[in-house]
Amino acid sequence: MNLGVLSSGSNGNALVVEHEGQCIFFDAGLSGCEHLKRMQQAGFGAPCPLGLFVSHEHGDHSRGAGVLARKWKVPVFSTKGTFFGSGFNRQNLPAGSERFENGDTINLGPFRVTSFRISHDAIDPTGFVVEAGGARVGIATDMGEAGPLVLSMLSGCDGLVLEFNHDLEMLWDGPYPWPLKQRISSGLGHLSNDDAAALLGRIAHGGLKVCVLAHLSQENNTPELALESARRVTGDRFALVAGSRHYALPMIQIVQEVFL
Ligand SMILES: [Zn+2]
Ligand SMILES: [Zn+2]
């Protein structure tokens, strides 16, 4: 299974997971044009897309979903809350678009996608575990805190995409207005580097091959600080790579060897 991190951050999030010539998208916060450009940048060919999963209705995850789904003729999958919150309408989306309940598992071609509820100030936000070809990847961004459900869902993964949103000191000393600082650091906001590193320390295991540090704040974080927080807890046992809002990462091969 190959993982593409096309964009990660509050200006737009987009992931793609590929296996044996077929793929599924997770989130579509870029314009259709930029999404295509990033796919080329990642070295992604033209596989057969089977579906687009949207984690929650915030624009940085959902704003390009309708355009992307119609362009690729792929059905959209999200919770009912995310579906309505994003302004999706079955009449305007490709056939097969479906609303699921958090906790449901959806099988699409070689992919098995299990959804789970995360803590964020959205209507019904979702984290995902995607399995194909014996590999398991956990995806959890935009969450203010990680409870037992998140811990159990993200355990045993070969690859992770995990939010490392902000450095607490940068957030408190930074330019954001006080209410926004409170919202970000609340249990319904975003994970700090330290909280994410602690979570990673609890779910890291011998089979984990790579963790992508995702959704880094432009104003309140740097890739160096996020990587340092993760390394302090987990050392060099597996690959750590910071996602970027500005460019797509090269495709990451998961299972057996990881090539970055
Ligand atoms: Zn977001
Ligand atoms: Zn959000």
What is the rounded CA–CA span in Å between residue 246 and residue 154?
A: 27
How many A from CA of 55 to the centre of ligand 2? Answer: 9
Instruction: Note the pLDDT of residue 260.
Output: 54
**All structural domains of the chain:** 2-253 (3.60.15.10)
Token code pair at residue 36:
């295509």
Tokens 């902000």 map to which residue?
A: 166
What is the rounded CA–CA span in Å between residue 241 and residue 138?
A: 15
pLDDT tens readout for residues 128-158: 999 999 999 999 999 999 999 999 999 999 9
- Ligand lying nearest the CA atom of residue 13: 1
What is the rounded CA–CA span in Å between residue 209 and residue 200?
A: 12
Categorize the per-residue pLDDT at 188 as very low, low, confident or very high, splitting at 50, 70 and 90. Answer: very high
How many A from CA of 182 to the centre of ligand 1? Answer: 16
- Ligand lying nearest the CA atom of residue 119: 2
What is the rounded CA–CA span in Å between residue 89 and residue 119?
A: 25
pLDDT tens readout for residues 100-114: 999 999 999 999 999
pLDDT tens readout for residues 27-49: 999 998 999 899 999 988 767 89
How many A from CA of 99 to the centre of ligand 1? Answer: 20
How many A from CA of 9 to the centre of ligand 1? Answer: 6
Return residues with CB closer than 5 A to ligand 2 (ion). Answer: 58, 142
Least confident of 44-53, 203-212, 223-232: 44-53
How many A from CA of 223 to the centre of ligand 2? Answer: 20
How many A from CA of 165 to the centre of ligand 1? Answer: 9
- Percent of the chain whose predicted confidence (pLDDT) is above 90: 92
How many A from CA of 117 to the centre of ligand 1? Answer: 15
How many A from CA of 190 to the centre of ligand 2? Answer: 8
How many A from CA of 46 to the centre of ligand 2? Answer: 29
Distances (CA, A) of 35 to 32, 52, 69: 5, 13, 12
Instruction: Note the pLDDT of residue 256.
Output: 53
How many A from CA of 256 to the centre of ligand 1? Answer: 31
